[in-house]
């Protein structure tokens, strides 16, 4: 029998050797990067997502505030904004830490994706808590966006969110698309936890394709906090930003289907960590409201 401290030391050595940072060095994939204009868009829409953490954002990302929405019971918050330069209606959702906590305990039931005006294939299931939260504000958001696009022909729709806000933005994107057919839509999420099952992932991939951008910062533990073992699966398209500092050349486009084993999922989840709190060097709760 080896003494316990030696076993512990051995276990630690094995752990350090298999530590993702060690892998980082060994694998050191070359980063083809993304086009700089696309990278700038990733940062741009993150600023909406961070502004959604503000109690009141008068000019989200410097643009026109159309509507604030809020459900006090589920604490679901966000805004609809209009950018008359880019000709876009932007819907941003606030993320909450408590929802991520919920995701870690037993409340990660997958439930049928039933929402307004959307009829996904049978078997499409999503996180019950996220869906409930989205449905509390969905009619408000759909009505507001519908009104905007009818008054502003030629505008497209963008949804954005950080953390759980990313999950809500994902549910919102496919719902808005179904309610407003023919209006171009794009989705940007940052540190989004897994939101639904395989059917959901395929549904989002099918409906949005490369118009869905799911950004993961280095070792952010939240995207993997709800494991695939529970029947969850990520949709695409993951962009893994690593290493820091963030730039177009340190941002890699992963396989479009969502669970690229050479991207962020190769790291075991570390839960809520510092990497979750900063994207592109910007703290996730920064208001860009003037
Ligand atoms: C995807 O985005 C492009 C560029 O904005 C747009 O032309 C296209 O209609 C969008 N596709 C969908 C399905 O909304």
76-113 confidence digits (pLDDT tens)? 999 999 999 999 999 999 998 666 665 554 567 899 99
In the chain, % of residues over pLDDT 90: 78
Question: How confident is the model at residue 107, as a pLDDT?
Answer: 61
Question: Per 3-state DSSP, what percentage of the chain is helix, strand, and coil (rounded to 5)?
Answer: 40, 20, 40
Indicate whether 121 belongs to any domain: yes
Tell which atom from ligand 1 comes closest to the C-alpha of 211: 1
Q: How far is the CA of 54 from the centre of ligand 1 (A)?
A: 29
Please state, in angstroms and rounded to a whole number, the distance separating the CA atoms of residues 265 and 220.
10
Question: Is 290 a member of any domain?
Answer: no
Residue 1 within any structural domain of the chain: no
Q: Determine what percent of the chain is predicted with pLDDT higher than 70.
A: 86
Query: Which positions are annotated as active-site residues?
Result: 163, 220, 276
pLDDT score for 183: 98
3 state DSSP class of 27: helix
Report whether pLDDT(42) > 60: yes
Q: Which atom of ligand 1 is nearest to the CA of 184?
A: 14
Ligand 1 nearest atom to the CA of residue 177, by list position: 14
* pLDDT at residue 30, rounded to an integer: 54
Q: Give the pLDDT confidence score for residue 12 in this predicted structure.
A: 32
Summarised one tens digit per residue, pLDDT across range 146-184 is 999 999 999 999 999 999 999 999 999 999 999 999 999
> Tell me, what CATH number does 208's domain have?
3.40.50.1820
pLDDT at 224 over 70: yes
Q: What is the CA radius of gyration of the chain?
A: 19
In a domain, 39, yes or no: yes
Average pLDDT, stretch 276-289? Answer: 96
Instruction: Kindly give the distance from the C-alpha atom of residue 268 to the centroid of ligand 1, in angstroms, as a whole number.
Output: 34
pLDDT for the residue numbered 35: 95
Site to probe by mutation for ligand 1, drawn from 89, 175, 186 as the one with most ligand atoms within 8 Å of Cβ, is 186
Instruction: Count CA within 13 A, CB hemisphere, residue 144.
Output: 21
> Can you say whether residue 281 is alpha, beta or left, with left for phi > 0 and alpha for psi between -120 and 50 degrees?
left
Q: Is the pLDDT of residue 32 over 80?
A: no
Q: What is the pLDDT of residue 271?
A: 83
Ligand 1, atom 3, residue with closest C-alpha: 184
Indicate whether 156 belongs to any domain. yes
Q: What is the pLDDT of residue 97?
A: 64
Tell me whether residue 162 is in a domain.
yes
The answer on pLDDT for 238 being more than 90 is yes
List, chain by chain if needed, residues with CB within 6 Å of any ligand 1 atom: 156, 184-186, 211
Centre of ligand 1 to C-alpha 276, Å, is 28
Q: How far apart are CA 97 and CA 225, in angstroms?
A: 13
CA dihedral 140, 142, 145, 149 (to 10 degrees): -140
Tokens of 33: 């990067």
Average pLDDT, the chain: 88
Residues 6+ apart with CB under 8 A from 144: 66, 67, 69, 80
**Residue to probe by mutation, ligand 1, list 38, 177, 184, most atoms within 8 Å of CB:** 184
Q: What is the distance between the alpha carbons of residues 197 and 261, in angstroms, rounded to a whole number?
A: 17
Residue 288 lies in a domain: no
User: Do 220 and 276 meet the contact criterion of CB atoms below 8 Å apart?
Assistant: yes
Q: What is the pLDDT, as a whole number, of residue 100?
A: 62
Distance 182 CA to ligand 1 centre (A): 9
Q: Is residue 289 part of a domain?
A: no
* Distance from residue 211's CA to the centre of ligand 1 (Å): 6
Protein residue with least CA distance to atom 12, ligand 1: 184
Q: Say yes or no to pLDDT of 73 above 90.
A: no
Helix (H) or strand (E) holding 105: none
Q: Which of 156, 173, 203 to mutate to test the pocket of ligand 1 (most atoms within 8 A of CB)?
A: 156
Q: What's the mean pLDDT in 230-253? A: 96
Domain hosting 200: range is 8-283
Q: How many domains does the chain have?
A: 1
8 vs 174, residue with greater confidence: 174
């Amino acid at each position: 029998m080896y003494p316990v401290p030696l076993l512990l030391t051995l276990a630690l050595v094995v752990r350090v050797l298999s530590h993702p940072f060690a892998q980082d060095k060994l694998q050191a994939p070359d980063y083809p990067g993304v086009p700089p204009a696309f990278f700038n868009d990733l940062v741009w829409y993150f600023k909406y997502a961070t502004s959604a953490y503000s109690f009141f954002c008068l000019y989200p990302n410097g643009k026109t505030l159309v509507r604030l929405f809020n459900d006090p019971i589920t604490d679901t918050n966000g805004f609809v904004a209009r950018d008359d330069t880019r000709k876009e209606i932007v819907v941003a959702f606030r993320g909450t830490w408590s929802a991520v906590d919920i995701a870690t305990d037993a409340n990660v039931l997958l439930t049928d994706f039933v929402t307004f005006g959307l009829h996904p294939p049978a078997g499409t299931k999503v996180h019950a808590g996220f869906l409930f939260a989205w449905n509390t504000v969905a009619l408000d958001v759909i009505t507001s966006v519908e009104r905007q696009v009818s008054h502003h022909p030629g505008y497209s729709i963008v949804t954005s969110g950080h953390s759980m806000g990313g999950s809500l933005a994902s549910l919102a994107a496919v719902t808005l698309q179904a309610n407003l057919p023919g209006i171009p839509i794009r989705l940007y999420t940052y540190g989004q936890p897994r939101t639904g099952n395989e059917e959901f992932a395929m549904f989002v991939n099918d409906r949005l394709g490369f118009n869905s951008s799911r950004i993961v910062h280095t070792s952010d533990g939240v995207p993997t906090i709800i494991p695939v073992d529970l029947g969850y699966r990520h949709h695409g398209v993951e962009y893994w930003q690593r290493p820091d500092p963030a730039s177009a050349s340190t941002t890699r486009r992963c396989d479009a289907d969502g669970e690229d084993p050479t991207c962020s999922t190769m790291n075991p989840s570390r839960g809520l960590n510092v990497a979750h709190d900063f994207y592109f060097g910007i703290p996730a709760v920064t208001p860009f409201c003037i």
